[in-house]
């Protein structure tokens, strides 16, 4: 963080959605550019996926998504889907 | 200033070690060079060859390692009375960073003085050895935490640990403690993204386990938080 001056940073807001509901991060996170926002989105998706392993128990699908916006509006949307197709009953 | 610093060390050591009056007097007579540092400043950096150890008198510090692509893992959080780089007494080269988390009052003690103390006061040497063993036990627990637990469990475990360690040195009040840490830094302790840390904290607040107000953490239900964090305090060896 200290390598980047505050005026080079953009405030990004992340909204998470999964089977548990919506979590909107209202404080935002200072990141240097869109690539860093994409990386954070990917990281949080992988965190959600790991926690879903513990949480989802018996569900056949689990959808996780992240919406990223800045003060000017939506920036990107990223998602992961877990789908279970059993081969026998 | 030196007196306060060494008092913190005595408080920490005597919480779990039996030292006699001569041992304590010998600790209090150590030559200390005191220094104040702001938050997020390096104390001893990876690759350095320090000739003194750093006693944390006031504030919080952490040890960390950085990957070549700029990721940071925080390895441990340190509280007053600890000597986080005690290993430099026997291992010449720092293999990780020691950084301040908050503003800190630090006391630097020459390796030569510590070596002399260890020779003259074997019970103090044993206590310092024990401290580094407990350090290693905490590292083992942190490996389990970042490797095998879900996000809210990791967070509950970390907060349970800090609450007990701070309680042992008399620095909690009625379930609250001051921990000036950012959510990004919590993420670096737990191997979680900053956004996920925010969500996890929100979950734990919603479950009625904690309350947070900037740097102040209040544990509302210690027993439930420990259960949530799969926390077994044995590894802290506090009794």
Partner A contacted by B150 (CB < 8 A) = yes
Domain of B70, CATH number, reads 2.60.120.10
How many angstroms separate the CA atoms of B136 and B140, rounded?
A: 6
Distance to chain A for B65, nearest Cα, Å: 15
Please check whether residue A9 lies inside any domain of the structure. Answer: yes
CATH number at residue B199: 1.10.10.10
Domain of residue B188 covers 149-236
Beta bridge partners of A83: A61
Distance between CA atoms of A10 and B122, rounded to whole angstroms? 56
- B80 interface with A at CB cutoff 8 Å: no
Domain count of the fold of chain B: 2
Neighbours of A68 (CB within 10 A): 22
Residues B99 and B158 in one domain: no
ipTM of the complex: 0.89
Q: Is residue A30 part of a domain?
A: yes
| Residue range of the domain that includes A56 | 3-83
- The answer as to whether A89 is a domain residue is no
pLDDT of residue B1: 65
A16-27 pLDDT, tens digit each: 999 889 999 888
The answer to whether residue B135 is domain-embedded is no
For residue B138, being part of any structural domain is answered with no
Do B166 and B70 fall within a single domain? no
Inter-residue contact B43 to B54 (CB < 8 Å): yes
- For each of chain B's 239 residues, which pLDDT tens digit applies? 677 899 999 999 999 999 999 999 999 999 999 999 999 999 999 999 999 999 999 999 999 999 999 899 999 999 999 999 999 999 999 999 999 999 999 999 999 999 999 999 999 999 999 999 999 999 999 999 999 999 999 999 999 999 999 999 999 988 899 899 999 999 999 999 999 999 999 999 999 999 998 888 999 999 999 999 999 999 999 98
- Say if residue B183 is in the same domain as residue B95: no
Residue A45 lies inside a defined structural domain of this protein:
yes
B179 CA: distance to closest CA in chain A (Å)? 19
* Model pLDDT, residue A1: 47
> Residue A47 and residue B151: Cβ atoms within 8 Å?
yes
Whole-prediction pTM value? Answer: 0.93
Residues of A in contact with B202 (CB under 8 A): 23
B102 plus B159 within the same structural domain: no
Residue B161 maps to a domain = yes
* Length reported for chain B: 239
What is d(CA B149, CA B19) in angstroms, rounded to the nearest whole number? 38
Structural domain contains residue B137: no
Collapsing DSSP to helix, strand or coil, B22 comes out as helix
Q: Give me the total of CB pairs closer than 8 Å, taking one residue from chain A and one from chain B.
A: 40
DSSP code of B173?
B
B128 found inside a domain: no
In a domain, B141, yes or no: no
pLDDT at A2 over 60: no
Within a 13 Å sphere around the CA of A13, how many CA atoms are in the beta-carbon half? 12
Same domain for B156 and B99?
Answer: no
What's the confidence (pLDDT) of residue A88?
A: 87
Q: Does B223 reside within a domain?
A: yes
Which two three-digit tokens encode residue B98?
A: 């020691």
Say how many domains are in chain A. Answer: 1
Is residue B91 in a domain?
yes
Tell whether A54 is covered by a domain.
Answer: yes
Same structural domain for residues B9 and B88?
Answer: yes
pLDDT digits (tens, 9 = 90+) for B68-116: 998 999 999 999 999 999 999 999 999 999 999 999 999 999 999 999 9
Of the two residues A56 and B151, the one the predictor is more confident about is: B151
Phi, psi of B130, deg, nearest 5? -60, -40
Q: Which of A44, A80, A89 minimizes the C-alpha distance to A62?
A: A80
Is B151–A1 a contact, with Cβ atoms under 8 angstroms apart?
A: no
Shared domain check, B158 and B102: no
* Domain-embedded: residue A8: yes
* B96 and B53 fall within a common domain: yes
**Which of A1, A23, A50 faces B199 most closely, judged by CB atoms?**
A23
């Amino acid at each position: 963080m200290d390598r980047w001056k505050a005026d080079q940073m953009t405030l990004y807001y992340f909204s998470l959605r999964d089977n548990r509901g919506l979590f909107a991060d209202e404080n935002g996170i200072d990141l240097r550019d869109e690539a860093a926002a994409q990386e954070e989105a990917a990281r949080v998706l992988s965190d959600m996926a790991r926690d879903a392993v513990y949480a989802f128990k018996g569900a056949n699908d689990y959808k996780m998504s992240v919406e990223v916006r800045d003060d000017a509006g939506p920036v990107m949307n990223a998602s992961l889907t877990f789908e279970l197709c059993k081969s026998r009953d | 200033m030196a007196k306060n610093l060494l008092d913190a060390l005595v408080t920490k050591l005597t919480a779990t070690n039996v030292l006699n009056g001569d041992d304590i007097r010998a600790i209090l007579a150590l030559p200390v060079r005191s220094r104040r540092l702001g938050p997020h400043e390096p104390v001893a950096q990876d690759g350095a060859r320090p000739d003194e150890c750093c006693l944390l008198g006031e504030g919080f510090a952490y040890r960390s390692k950085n990957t070549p692509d700029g990721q940071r893992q925080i390895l441990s959080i340190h509280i007053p009375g600890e000597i986080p780089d005690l290993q430099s007494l026997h291992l010449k080269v720092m293999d990780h960073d020691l950084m301040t988390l908050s503003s800190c009052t630090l006391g630097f003690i020459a390796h030569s003085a510590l070596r002399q103390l260890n020779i003259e006061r074997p019970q103090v040497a044993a206590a310092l050895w024990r401290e580094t063993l407990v350090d290693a036990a905490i590292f083992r627990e942190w490996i389990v935490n970042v490797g095998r637990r879900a996000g809210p469990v990791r967070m509950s475990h970390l907060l349970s640990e800090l609450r007990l360690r701070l309680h042992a040195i008399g620095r909690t009040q009625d379930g609250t403690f001051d921990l000036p840490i950012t959510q990004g830094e919590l993420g670096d302790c737990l191997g979680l993204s900053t956004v996920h840390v925010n969500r996890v904290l929100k979950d734990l607040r919603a479950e009625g386990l904690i309350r947070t107000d900037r740097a102040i953490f209040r544990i509302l239900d210690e027993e439930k938080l420990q259960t949530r964090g799969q926390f077994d305090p044995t590894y802290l060896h506090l009794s």
